[in-house]
């Protein structure tokens, strides 16, 4: 059962924000040397910025007062040199940090992607693909600025602020107190705003994810939308989701803008207080004009980084939601995993046994109850039964796509839970009705079944299942590039290519969910022959829709009511006049 659909907001389980941030910034540790270098550069930048007001103070209170032209010229040259260095340092810092943050994003994306590959069907059943995509692409991208600014803003701005405060207090503590008098007001304001902003940014990300999932699902199902003329309705749904997305943004951004306003307000009050106290003190001769001007610069130098920090904090609040969503997936445990003591399944013959197997996808909705059967090497089993009876479930359990709650499933006597998943699936060939093909050449699609297959092996497999003939008729034969999902090929052609892909992997156990769509008689014949070739010499489970497949099977399992209702050859089952007989009469009697 899906935990959420494209229109529902995801239910996000997150840890503490501090832990999320620490975890995110830990990725930067891999670039310690570069970051130390950037910090050194930043330290030089901060020093130069702090020296600038002292230069102005000295120029006014010493050289201009004493009319010392030479001294003023020397001081001016010195100021020009260090400020050119400042510009170069800033460029270098930006370049290095852009490189570091991009590498970190790459690492996070790789980790996320490889973790997603380990997750079981349960995970994919529970959420739309578009929402997973949103996390791999959008959420990861949203961390870029945070990562780079954490080094270039956070640390240097803290250093600047503390240095400015120390210098101000050393120079004149009364002016310093006046300049910083609005600080408590700012702290309270920022704290209140961030509390409200974080939840709103979380909602914004969820709404974005909904839009992503909707578009993804819509484009995948465009054929159905257009054939049912449902464009208008989908458009309306899309606009509704976009509306929610826009509103959540406006809601969140209101608070984001409030950060800047609070800082500006407090900055203004601080400046007013400074000049009020400063001008009074000039009268009493306790403050030189140059010192008050220098304080005017210091107060900007104090509030500028505070503004930067608040912007950074705002960015953090905005994007931490992205980090939370990424880490939530990374922390999702793969429920179908190898135990620590599993062994590799040796080359098998292909015997499959279910011993009192019970299974449910969700609690209290049993799909299989106490199912037992033994299939001998090389046997072909046709699984038939009403829709939703559990045919696909049985074959999915053999490949261990889900774990059973009770009983044992063995392959050649090995419990599937006690052998490595990879060694089990490597010896199985699975063909779904979908016959999923990837964008790429025909050759590469067939090679997917055996990555190191030679050209000859590819052609041999294609010939064996009757795919060679139509491949050679294509524009570039085996090098013809297929579109996504094999768009442009007929259903039968897709099937034949999928057969070739399975053939080349030479599985000992074959699972085939026969396609139901009807195809032209010539291709149908090719497909039937293809299936026969595939089945030869392997243990096969076919979710059978073709009468010919059912008739050629060694045994037929009739699945219903959580178990195998009948089993035997077609002749035996027809003679029994039970469930299969009824099914046969309903589905095939007219076709014979």
Q: Cβ 393 to ligand ATP, closest distance in Å?
A: 3
Token pair of 579 as six digits? 């469930």
Query: Which of 6, 9, 15 minimizes the C-alpha distance to 330?
Result: 15
- CB of 126 or CB of 234, closer to ligand ATP: 126
Rank residues 309 and 397 by Cβ distance to ligand ATP and give the closer one.
397
Q: How far is the CB of 548 from ligand ATP (least distance, A)?
A: 18
Q: Decide whether 380 or 392 has the Cβ nearer to ligand ATP.
A: 392
- Give the separation between CA 279 and CA 273, rounded to whole angstroms: 10
Between 244 and 513, name the residue whose CB sits nearer to ligand ATP. 513
CA distances from 136 to 3, 9, 139, 232, 436 (A): 19, 17, 6, 30, 22
| Stretch 494-513 residues interacting with ligand ATP (CB under 6 A) | none
Among 164, 178, 241, 367, binds ligand ATP (CB under 6 A): 367
Cα angle 415, 392, 363; round to 5: 75
State which of residues 110, 125, 231, 247 lies at the interface with ligand ATP (CB under 6 A). Answer: 125
Give the residue with the Cβ less far from ligand ATP, 132 or 241. 132
Residues numbered 322 to 361 that lie near ligand ATP (CB under 6 A) are 361
Cα end-to-end span (Å), the chain? 39
Tell the smallest beta-carbon distance from residue 241 to ligand ATP (Å): 25
Q: Residue 31 or 557: which CB sits closer to ligand ATP?
A: 557
Residues 272-291 that bind ligand ATP (CB under 6 A): none
CB closer to ligand ATP out of 211 and 389: 389
Tell me how far the alpha carbon of residue 19 is from its chain's centroid: 20
Look at the chain and count its residues: 592
Q: Which residues, numbered 368-427, are part of the site for ligand ATP (CB under 6 A)? A: 385, 387-393
Q: Alpha-carbon distance 153 to 307, whole Å? A: 11
Nearest distance in Å: CB 391, ligand ATP: 4
For ligand ATP, which is the closer residue by CB, 101 or 392? 392
Between 389 and 573, CB nearer to ligand ATP? 389
What 3-state DSSP class applies to 551?
A: helix
Residue 345 CB, nearest approach to ligand ATP (Å): 24
Min dist CB 124 to ligand ATP, Å, is 9
Nearest approach in angstroms of CB 394 to ligand ATP is 7
Distance CA 13, CA 234 (A): 30
**Sheet containing 555-560, strands listed edge to edge, beginning at the edge strand earlier in sequence:** 428-431, 509-513, 539-543, 380-384, 555-560, 563-568
Q: How far is the CB of 369 from ligand ATP (least distance, A)?
A: 12
Q: How far is the CB of 125 from ligand ATP (least distance, A)?
A: 4
Q: Is 1 in the site for ligand ATP (CB under 6 A)?
A: yes
What CA–CA distance (Å, rounded) separates 459 from 112?
37
- Beta carbons of 321 and 200 less than 8 angstroms apart: no
Between 407 and 477, whose beta carbon lies closer to ligand ATP?
407
Residue closer to ligand ATP (CB basis): 141 or 516: 516
Enumerate residues 6+ apart whose C-beta is below 8 A from 132.
Answer: 116, 124, 329
Helix locations, 119-182, DSSP H = 121-125, 129-134, 140-141, 144-149, 155-171, 173-179
Nearest to 257 by CA among 340, 317, 345: 317
CB of 225 to ligand ATP, least distance (A): 23
Beta bridge partners of 410: 353, 415
Minimum CB–partner distance for residue 397 and ligand ATP (Å): 10
Instruction: State which residue, 183 or 336, has the beta carbon closest to ligand ATP.
Output: 336
Torsion on CA atoms 202, 220, 3, 560, rounded to nearest 10:
180
Residue keyed to tokens 């208008």: 232
Which lies closer to ligand ATP via its Cβ, residue 182 or residue 392?
392
Q: How many residues bind ligand ATP (CB under 6 A)?
A: 13
Structure tokens at 88: 């170069």
The CB-of-523 to ligand ATP minimum distance in angstroms stands at: 23
Smallest separation (angstroms) from ligand ATP to the CB of 543:
6
Sign of the dihedral through C-alpha 480, 485, 490, 496: positive
Contact 188, 303 (CB under 8 A): no
The Cα 318–Cα 350 span in angstroms is: 54
Q: Any residues with CB less than 8 A from the CB of 82 and at least 6 apart, and which?
A: 48, 51
Interacting residues with ligand ATP between 207 and 226 (CB under 6 A): none
Where along the sequence are the contacts to ligand ATP (CB under 6 A)? 1, 125, 361-362, 367, 385, 387-393
């Amino acid at each position: 059962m899906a935990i959420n659909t494209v229109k529902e907001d995801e239910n996000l389980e997150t840890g503490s924000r501090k832990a999320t941030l620490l975890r995110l910034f830990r990725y930067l540790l891999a670039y310690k040397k570069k970051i130390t270098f950037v910090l050194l550069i930043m330290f030089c930048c901060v020093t130069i910025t702090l020296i600038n007001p002292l230069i102005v103070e000295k120029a006014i209170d010493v050289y201009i007062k004493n009319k010392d032209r030479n001294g003023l010229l020397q001081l001016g040259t010195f100021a020009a040199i260090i400020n050119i260095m400042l510009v170069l340092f800033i460029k270098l810092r930006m370049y290095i940090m852009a490189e570091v943050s991009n590498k970190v994003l790459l690492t996070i994306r790789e980790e996320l992607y490889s973790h997603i590959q380990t997750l079981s069907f349960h995970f994919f059943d529970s959420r739309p693909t578009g929402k997973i995509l949103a996390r791999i692409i959008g959420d990861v991208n949203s961390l870029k600025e945070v990562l780079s600014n954490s080094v270039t803003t956070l640390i240097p701005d803290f250093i600047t602020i503390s240095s400015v405060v120390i210098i101000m207090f050393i120079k004149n503590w009364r002016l310093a107190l006046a300049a910083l008098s609005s600080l408590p007001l700012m702290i309270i304001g920022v704290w209140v705003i961030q509390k409200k902003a974080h939840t709103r940014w979380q909602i914004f990300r969820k709404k974005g994810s909904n839009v992503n999932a909707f578009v993804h699902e819509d484009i995948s199902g465009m054929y159905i939308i257009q054939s049912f003329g449902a464009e208008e309705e989908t458009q309306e749904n899309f606009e509704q989701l976009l509306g929610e997305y826009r509103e959540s943004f406006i809601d969140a951004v209101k608070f984001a803008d409030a950060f800047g306003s609070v800082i500006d307000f407090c900055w203004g009050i601080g400046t007013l207080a400074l000049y009020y106290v400063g001008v009074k003190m000039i009268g009493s001769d306790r403050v030189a004009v140059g010192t008050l001007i220098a304080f005017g610069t210091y107060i900007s130098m104090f509030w500028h980084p505070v503004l930067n920090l608040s912007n950074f904090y705002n960015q953090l609040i905005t994007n931490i939601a992205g980090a939370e969503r990424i880490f939530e997936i990374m922390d999702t445990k793969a429920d179908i995993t190898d135990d620590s003591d599993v062994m590799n399944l040796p080359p098998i013959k292909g015997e499959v046994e279910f011993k009192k197997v019970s299974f449910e996808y969700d609690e209290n909705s049993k799909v299989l109850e106490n199912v037992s059967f033994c299939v001998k090497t090389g046997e072909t089993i046709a699984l038939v039964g009403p829709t939703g009876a559990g045919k696909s479930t049985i074959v999915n359990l053999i490949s261990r796509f889900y774990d059973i709650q009770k009983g044992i499933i063995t392959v050649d006597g090995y419990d599937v839970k006690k052998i490595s998943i990879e060694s089990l699936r490597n010896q199985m060939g699975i063909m779904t009705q979908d016959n999923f093909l990837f964008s790429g050449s025909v050759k590469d699609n067939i090679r997917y079944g055996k990555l190191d297959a030679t050209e000859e092996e590819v052609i041999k497999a294609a010939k064996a299942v009757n795919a060679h003939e139509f491949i050679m008729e294509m524009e570039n034969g085996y090098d013809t590039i297929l579109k996504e999902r094999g768009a442009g090929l007929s259903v039968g052609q897709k099937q034949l290519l999928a057969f070739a892909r399975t053939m080349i992997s030479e599985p000992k156990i074959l699972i085939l969910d026969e396609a139901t769509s009807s195809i032209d008689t010539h291709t149908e014949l090719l497909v039937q022959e293809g299936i026969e070739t595939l089945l030869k010499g392997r243990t096969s489970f076919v979710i059978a829709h073709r009468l010919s497949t059912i008739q050629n099977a060694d045994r037929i399992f009739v699945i219903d009511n959580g178990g195998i209702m009948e089993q035997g050859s077609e002749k035996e089952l027809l003679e029994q006049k039970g469930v299969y007989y009824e099914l046969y009469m309903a589905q095939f009697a007219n076709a014979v």
